[in-house]
Structure 1
Amino acid sequence: MYDITGFQRDLLYVIAGLTDPHGLAIKEQLEDYYEGEIHHGRLYPNLDTLVDKGLVEKGQKDRRTNVYSITQRGTREIEARREWEDQYWDDS
């Protein structure tokens, strides 16, 4: 996960956490987190990068709506990231 941006990492986490992750739902979640508008020109190229890296799969819900799902590799990358973070985070 070292070779993706923080924004791409956030996309990955959102996709993993949503039941039906399509572009607009992902955008809304990130806008809530970032407290500002996420432009399509930022969102979709970054989603495509995650697809190209094999972390996310892209499918079609209908003619206008793409859906995204995390791959096994994406899940492994999140798990590895969480383990790495746990080394430095003590929540007690």
Structure 2
Amino acid sequence: MHDLTGFQRDLLYVVSGLDEPHGLAIKDELEDYYEQEIHHGRLYPNLDTLVEKGLVEKGEQDRRTNIYSLTRRGRRELEARNDWERKYVEPAETSAA
């Protein structure tokens, strides 16, 4: 996970949070979050990188539509990232209360 870009990490979160996510649904979610257009030339090469790293699986919904899902490794990596983030976020929240 440490070698991923922030955009690739965001892709992992979106893939994990959608039911049978396909490219356009992922693109729409990220555009809502980033509040800007995500070009296909950015989206699909980064999804392919996650597939190559074994974090995401790519399957076919039909001839024109690919669906993506987290692998077990991808899910473990996200859980580890969440644990790491909680070490820094939760103490700040409790001390501010």
Q: TM-score interval w.r.t. the shorter chain?
A: over 0.9
> For 1:88, what is the secondary structure of its paired residue?
helix
Unaligned runs of 5+ in 1: none
Structure of greater Rg:
2
Percent identity over paired residues:
73
Equivalent residue number for residue 19 of structure 2? 19
Matches within 5 A, 1:8-87: 8-87=8-87
Structure with a larger share of its residues in helix:
2
> Whole-Å Cα distance in 1 between the matches of residues 87 and 12 of structure 2?
21
1:26-78 Cα deviation digits (max 9, x unpaired): 00000000000000000000000000000000000000000000000000000
Shift of 1:6: 0.3
Post-superposition offset of 1:20: 1.7
Distance in 2 (alpha carbons) for counterparts of 1:51 and 1:20: 15
Aligned residues, how many? 92
Unaligned runs of 5+ residues in structure 2 are: none
Deviations 1:9-39 (A, max 9, x none): 0000000000120000000000000000000
Moved over 6 A (4+): none
Please give the root-mean-square deviation of Cα atoms over the aligned residues, in Å.
0.6
Which amino acid is 1:16 matched to? Answer: S
